[in-house]
Structure 1
Amino acid sequence: MKKILFLFGIILLTTSFAAAQNCSKYYPMVEGATMQYTNYNKKGKTEGIATYLVSNVKTSGDVTAATMAIELRDEKGKEIYKTDYNFTCSGNMVTVDYKSLVPSSMFEQYEGMEMDISGTDLELPNDLSVGQALSDANVSIKISMSGINMNTTVDMINRKVEKKESVTTPAGTFDCYVIYSENKMKAMMVKQSFPSRVWFAEGVGMIKQESFNKNGKSMGTTVLTKYSK
């Protein structure tokens, strides 16, 4: 469950260096581009490091498609899991496949069981502006096992461009757009809701992501620590 939440949140910030092409300002469309994000808990202690690699880029007509490979390690450097997701860029819009919000480790865990996944893709336009409303995104997972159904849903709603501000991380100082969203997860009898903010910089991508509890206190942050393209 934590993996689903983590990946759903990090795909928000999983935007990286801007492409060399004009197709995308905030998602990497350069094969071989890499970035490293460090995850911190609410006390500022390192919890893990996520490394991203653009492993494949193909263009057909006016559509560019790419694959992002993700590796997550804990604070001691032990690999937790690997996954990847696909995204496309066409015209002024980058679209992330909603199925990519589900970690591959979940497929491995429930191998042989019936799994039904549905949802809406995550979109990010190139022409961001303060006050702009963005489309919602969600993923719903239904797993059938020995006649028992297990359902999990994650919704990202009320997305909007909140403001512009400068942010400094170990990777440098960046002028960013801040995107706010409310994230809701329901699994079995458990419900969780938490707002989050993601900082995007043109020419680089996601710089920082922070999640908050219902009282507005930080639950943890993820920041860009290094990148190359």
Structure 2
Amino acid sequence: MKKTIFLVGLVLVMTTIATAQECSKYYPMIEGATLQYTNYNKKDKPEGVATYKVTHVETSGDVTNATMAIELKDEKGKEIYKTDYSFKCSGNMVTIDYESLVPSSMFEQYEGMEMDISGTDIELPNDLSVGQQLSDANVTVKISMGGINMNTTVDMVNRKVEKQESVTTPAGTFNCYVIYSDNMMKAMMVKQSMPSRVWYAEGVGMIKQESYNKAGKSIGTTVLTAFSK
């Protein structure tokens, strides 16, 4: 799972705490805020560490745009991937760039090749409630390789708020909303289904993410291990 973190709802924005709290209920909204996650495989063995940091925020009217920098290291501490993506906050909604749905392994594998990326952003409203249905999201990547085009599609569908529960990680204990989604990836003629759950806590963001196979067994977990703002 260390190269396939495709559902990371980490949305940290704003220039001041007061403005930020009006914009998003679930994130600290501070430039420089940093979250560290450890990725575990299905045997609960660590496979790497991902660090997310808000590097830039800019507010215009009632819309705030921000940039999140991501650094991924393997279990030995070797850097294997770096990138960033954008997100914005407006009114009652945080919107995350659809490019965050692209598996990081794809950027690494096809680095330097021509890539055309399109899709629908991930939305996370402030007023979450158990049973609530959320909008779908998707991304399509077209890669040109020597005159041959390869298309990959990731669809995040059936998103819903399942429940509330308390989760304890090395970063602390958090009261969370749990969001379930069916994540379907299609590359060439190969289809893969990977349901997942994400735990969100007010003022922090994503606390935990777990992915499953078709039988419902866990195949990988991402856990918040450090947080600062």
Would you call these one fold, judging by a TM-score over 0.5?
yes
1:8 maps to a residue whose letter is F
Map 1:212-223 → 2, pairs under 5 A: 212-223=212-223
> Are 1:115 and 2:111 matched, yes or no?
no
| Counterpart among 6, 16, 31 of residue 8 in structure 1 | 6
Counterpart-to-counterpart distance in 2, 1:93 and 1:83: 24
Q: Could you state the TM-score of these two structures normalised by the residue count of structure 1?
A: 0.91
Counterpart-to-counterpart distance in 2, 1:105 and 1:53: 21
Map 1:29-178 → 2, pairs under 5 A: 29-102=29-102, 103=104, 106=107, 109-111=110-112, 113-178=113-178
Counterpart-to-counterpart distance in 2, 1:39 and 1:16: 21
- Shift in CA distance, 192/108, structure 1 to aligned 2, threshold 3 Å: closer
Aligned residue for 2:77, secondary structure, equals coil
Aligned-residue sequence identity (percent) comes to 76
Q: Which residue of structure 2 lines up, in the alignment, with residue 190 of structure 1?
A: 190
Counterpart-to-counterpart distance in 2, 1:94 and 1:86: 11
Structure 1: where are the runs of 5+ without partners?
A: none
**Cα contact 1:83–1:105 (8 A) shared by 2:** no
**Cα contact 1:165–1:178 (8 A) shared by 2:** yes
Structure 2: where are the runs of 5+ without partners?
A: none
1:192 maps to a residue whose letter is Q
Counterpart-to-counterpart distance in 2, 1:109 and 1:52: 22
Tell me how far 1:17 sits from its aligned partner: 9.3
Tell me how far 1:110 sits from its aligned partner: 4.4
Aligned residue for 1:8, secondary structure, equals coil
2:110 maps to a residue whose letter is Q
For the aligned residue pairs, the C-alpha RMSD in angstroms reads 2.2
2:179 maps to a residue whose letter is I
**Cα contact 1:156–1:181 (8 A) shared by 2:** yes
**Cα contact 2:12–2:31 (8 A) shared by 1:** no
Tell me how far 1:204 sits from its aligned partner: 1.3
Tell me how far 1:38 sits from its aligned partner: 0.5
**Cα contact 1:82–1:105 (8 A) shared by 2:** no
**Number of residue pairs matched?**
224
- Shift in CA distance, 28/188, structure 1 to aligned 2, threshold 3 Å: farther
- Shift in CA distance, 55/149, structure 1 to aligned 2, threshold 3 Å: same
Tell me how far 1:107 sits from its aligned partner: 7.7
- Shift in CA distance, 16/176, structure 1 to aligned 2, threshold 3 Å: farther
Counterpart-to-counterpart distance in 1, 2:180 and 2:88: 22
Q: Deviations over 1:150-182 (max 9, x none)?
A: 010000000000000011101111110000000
- Shift in CA distance, 204/164, structure 1 to aligned 2, threshold 3 Å: same
Counterpart-to-counterpart distance in 2, 1:225 and 1:91: 30
- Shift in CA distance, 108/42, structure 1 to aligned 2, threshold 3 Å: closer
**Cα contact 1:213–1:219 (8 A) shared by 2:** yes
Q: Deviations over 1:204-229 (max 9, x none)?
A: 11110000111111001111011011
Counterpart-to-counterpart distance in 1, 2:159 and 2:40: 23
Q: Could you state the TM-score of these two structures normalised by the residue count of structure 2?
A: 0.91
Q: Deviations over 1:129-162 (max 9, x none)?
A: 0000000000001112222110100000000000
